[in-house]
Amino acid sequence: MRLPKVEDIEARIPRPEHFDESRRGLPTTSRVGRALGIAFGICFLTGMWSHFQYTDPAWLPIGPDPAWLYRWSQGLHIISGTAAVPLVLVKLWSVYPHLFARPPGKEDKRALVLEALSRLSIGVLVASSLFMLASGTLNISGWYPWDFSFRRTHEAVAWIAIGSLVLHIGVKLPLIRDGLDASIDDSDNHNDGDDDGDTDDSAGHTSRRALLAATGAASGLAVLLTAGQTVPFLRQVSVFGVRDGEGPQDLPINRTARGAGAVAGATSPDFTLTIMSGEQSVTLTLDDLRALPQTTHTLPIACVEGWSRSAEWTGVPVRDLIAMVGADPKSTVQFRSTQTRGAFGSSELPSQFTEDSRTLLALRLNGEVLSIDHGFPCRLIAPNRPGVLQTKWVNKMEVVT
């Protein structure tokens, strides 16, 4: 018995031509790729929009109107990402045989370098794309099995994914055009000639047409069965949705009072709200707050995880509260929470939200006193803001500018 040589092992590794190509090939890859490119494009743009809504860049002053904007953009982000899961899997399946293509011979150095670069860029594209979908899916279900900051990393890798995708489109453009121009029924394996428009040939080979239909159906079904947390009329249909839209006072929650370490501070009989502006300050008890003129508005809570739900909020307009310390309605206000654990214990409300009369320090939700998990005794609610910036258990408001 002799030890196997490199050539023996190589001979056992399949070659691209060993794979069944009857359903793969350019017509399949280009069509699934086009759908995937659209889904990734929407996902990238809505994702970047979400980062803008968080960071409020000076060059893009996002305002309170329309109140439903973040609800829609973030819902679309999660929906396009979910739709992309079946698409990316079928896309990768369709090109998997290329993984086994043998590198060009050593004598052609230029071809070898190009091949290495091409493989590297595709490796980056595949790794970053799968990472985006996996990390996003895990994040919306509240599972974080990693040691990096989700928000920062999901944003940075999004640039890597979209960059390598655009590069990939540039490299493959002639092939993509050929693939989209070619008939979906074009196949080397189709030799029976009884083209009756059926979805497979007499030997029982499934056509590309059936495969593409299945891929589209899978993509649509994945959305339908999860999107109910965003799209109200799908609530009963979305049996795999992370949220069913239920919760205390008919509204789901992201972080519980216990999880945020906010119970003691929020339920203390000595609770007070302090409002500050420069040298001036005023301290209000809960009874003082309840005695102020209240207004009611219907506004959605829309979270980065893609769920959203409208509710009826009653409380004191923030502009009225800061007027008590002589501040202009057009002021930036810092909100601090009694919470002792976790991120987003404070938020900064840009002036365009502060001056909007719908921006409330809410005391009541859907006709009842706020439950502890919704931010009792009082919380911020403003139109068109990401959910985590709607600070709960507020005990300090400071006018910044």
Which segment (56-64, 125-133, 275-283, 316-324) binds another protein by CB under 8 A?
125-133
140 near another protein (CB under 8 A): yes
Is the backbone peptide bond immediately before 66 cis, with ω within 30 degrees of 0? yes
Q: How far is the CB of 333 from another protein (least distance, A)?
A: 28
Q: How far, in Å, CA of 291 to CA of 256, rounded?
A: 28
Q: How far, in Å, CA of 370 to CA of 364, rounded?
A: 5
Q: Quick one: DSSP state of residue 100?
A: G
Q: How far is the CB of 7 from another protein (least distance, A)?
A: 22
Q: Which is nearer to another protein, 163 or 329 (CB)?
A: 163
123 near another protein (CB under 8 A): yes
Interactions with another protein, residue window 277-306 (CB under 8 A): none
Q: How far is the CB of 35 from another protein (least distance, A)?
A: 13
Q: Measure CA 181 to chain center.
A: 33
Q: How far is the CB of 398 from another protein (least distance, A)?
A: 29
Q: How far, in Å, CA of 164 to CA of 129, rounded?
A: 9
> Could you count the other beta carbons within 10 Å of the beta carbon of residue 197?
6
In sequence order, what DSSP letters do the residues of 11-67 get, joined into one string? Answer: HHS--GGGS--SS-SHHHHHHHHHHHHHHHHHHHHHHHHHHHHHH--TTS---S-ST
Q: How far is the CB of 315 from another protein (least distance, A)?
A: 22
158 near another protein (CB under 8 A): yes
244 near another protein (CB under 8 A): yes
Q: Quick one: DSSP state of residue 200?
A: B
Q: Which is nearer to another protein, 60 or 221 (CB)?
A: 221
Which residue of 101, 113, 169, 264 would you call a contact of another protein, by CB under 8 A? 169
69 pairs with which residues across the strands? Answer: none
**Cα–Cα nearest to 360, from 295, 312, 303:** 295
82 near another protein (CB under 8 A): yes
92 near another protein (CB under 8 A): yes
Interactions with another protein, residue window 200-239 (CB under 8 A): 200, 203-207, 210-211, 213-215, 217-219, 221-222, 225-226, 239
21 near another protein (CB under 8 A): no
Which residue of 28, 254, 347, 359 would you call a contact of another protein, by CB under 8 A? 254
Q: How far is the CB of 321 from another protein (least distance, A)?
A: 29
Long-range contacts at 175-180 (CB < 8 A, ≥ 24 apart): 175/26, 175/30, 176/30, 176/33, 176/34, 178/26, 178/30, 179/26, 179/27, 179/29, 179/30, 179/31, 180/27, 180/30, 180/31, 180/34
Which residue of 8, 60, 61, 146 would you call a contact of another protein, by CB under 8 A? 146
Degrees (nearest 5) of the Cα angle 68, 73, 77? Answer: 145
Q: Which is nearer to another protein, 149 or 357 (CB)?
A: 149
Which segment (5-13, 60-68, 137-145, 324-332) binds another protein by CB under 8 A?
137-145
Which residue of 25, 37, 47, 252 would you call a contact of another protein, by CB under 8 A? 252
